[in-house]
Amino acid sequence: MQFSIISIGAMSVNDLWGERTATRTGHATTTLIRSGDKVILVDPGLPEPALVARLGERAGLRPEAVTHVFLTSFQADTLRGIRAFDHATWWISSDEREAVGVPLAQELRKAAREADEETVRLYETQVAALRRCEPVPDRLADRVDLFPLPGATPGLCGLLLADTRHTVLICGDAVPTLEHLAKGRVHPECFDPDRARESFTEAVEIADLLVPGRDNLGPNPTRRPF
């Protein structure tokens, strides 16, 4: 099993920097995992052209080499470039899929009633993507396991990677940035703050290295240096 960071994400509004309104376009950190015959891309948050370029720069791969796409959560920031991988299997947790489906359909109907064509197209694209997503198995590949981290979104799930020397956790927005990790702060716009704090604690307890939802790979500050 091997993994690498393809693109480092960013928060549209970083509460730890004193921001209150969107300052930049948010996008998730994208990670590539190779295990056996599976090539799994996690959270393709950049637009398609940028993501395809990064995949070539960081891993020497074309989109068709990716066999599976996994979304830690279902939001524009995690799936913006997913259509570059139409040939692949798309995975998401069953809880996240069920929680997102009804509100998304309601927003689509609302936009249609208001004759907001641009918003209708946006929601139609998201509905189509959600329909394509299949329930993710508990074990995605050898040494790659699902790790539920609900709270930031209803069914957010990370991935636990059993590296040869360390335990690595891809956190999604359960741990937004390394700065949030150091300060013990969860995402400011949590669906369920209490569950988010529980998930944050579980992430810190289990992992030697963490891949935050909007930052680069970093060590667990509660562990001894290695």
How would residue 107 be classed by pLDDT, with cut points 50, 70 and 90?
A: confident
**Does residue 225 surpass a pLDDT of 60?**
no
Greatest mean pLDDT range, 113-117, 146-150, 221-225: 146-150
> pLDDT at position 115, please?
74
> pLDDT at position 226, please?
52
> pLDDT at position 162, please?
92
The mean pLDDT of 93-112, rounded to a whole number, is: 86
Q: pLDDT, tens digit, for every residue of 14-35?
A: 999 999 899 999 999 999 999 9
How would residue 121 be classed by pLDDT, with cut points 50, 70 and 90?
A: confident
Q: Using alpha carbons, select from 25, 44, 24 the residue that is nearest to residue 33.
A: 44
Q: pLDDT, tens digit, for every residue of 52-61?
A: 999 999 999 9
The mean pLDDT of 218-222, rounded to a whole number, is: 93
* Percent residues over pLDDT 70 in the chain: 99
CATH number for region 2-219: 3.60.15.10
Asked if residues 59 and 38 have their Cβ atoms less than 8 Å apart, the reply is no
**Does residue 164 surpass a pLDDT of 80?**
no
> pLDDT at position 118, please?
76
**Does residue 70 surpass a pLDDT of 80?**
yes
The mean pLDDT of 183-208, rounded to a whole number, is: 96
Task: Enumerate the domain spans of the chain.
Answer: 2-219
> Distances in Å between the alpha carbon of 45 and those of 28, 42, 125, 146, 225?
5, 9, 15, 20, 31
**Does residue 125 surpass a pLDDT of 90?**
no
CA 184 to chain CA centroid, Å, is 20
Burial-class residue 24 by CB neighbours within 10 Å (0-12, 13-18, 19+).
exposed
User: CB under 8 Å to 39, separation ≥6 — which residues?
Assistant: 32, 33, 61, 65, 66, 67, 68
